[in-house]
Amino acid sequence: MENSVSKFPLLGDALPEMEVLTTHGMKKLPQDYSGKWLVLFSHPADFTPVCTTEFVAFSQLKPEFDKLNAELLGLSMDQVFSHIKWHEWIEEKLKVEIPFPIIADGAGEVSAKLGMVHPGKGSNTVRAVFLIDPKGIVRLILYYPQEIGRNMEEILRALKALQVTDQNGVATPANWPNNSLLGDKVIIPPAKDVETAKKRPSQYECFDWWFCYKKL
């Protein structure tokens, strides 16, 4: 008996091409975001408390995402008129403008393709986050249950870390840029041959040849 194969995108996969209806009109994914990082995130439903706090938080941090050449794109399995009304409610009651589009995935097709449908929760989506690079490749996936609101600062931190590692060919330590051992320094990839291993301690700061680091 053959095992079923998940069709959800994994890290390193291209985001499936889709045409989606949003509060800013029709958009083609990932083509319309080519050359930019995309933060695609789903929420369980409009007019729910935790989701409302998340949308406020994302909106308030949009200038920080802008600095990182990143666009925000929300999604839930609600109709577009519900998104629009919720958008208006947040602006009127909480005095926060929602500056990014929200996908109206009423039929659940996008959510199904991306593995966002919450098991046992009917038409609700999980709190998923996909970080997609300027070439349309999925680089990071996060899933949260309905009861736990996301940490937007962590999403920003992960996005910054991905850009630093891509640009410099390094890795980042735990809690970077505030690591307890290295501070904001980054880790050099381990040596892959004896000669390089011998040279490492004279080239970088090291705890050992396989654990070297530097200041950017």
Closest residue by Cα to residue 55 from 66, 65, 43, 67: 43
Pair 19, 107: CB distance under 8 Å: no
Q: Is the dihedral of CA 133, 137, 140, 141 positive or negative?
A: positive
Between CA 143 and CA 127 the distance in angstroms is: 6
Question: What 3-state class would DSSP assign to 186?
Answer: strand
Is 51 assigned a catalytic role? yes
Catalytic residue among 51, 70, 90, 102: 51
Between CA 36 and CA 133 the distance in angstroms is: 7
- The set of catalytic residues is 51
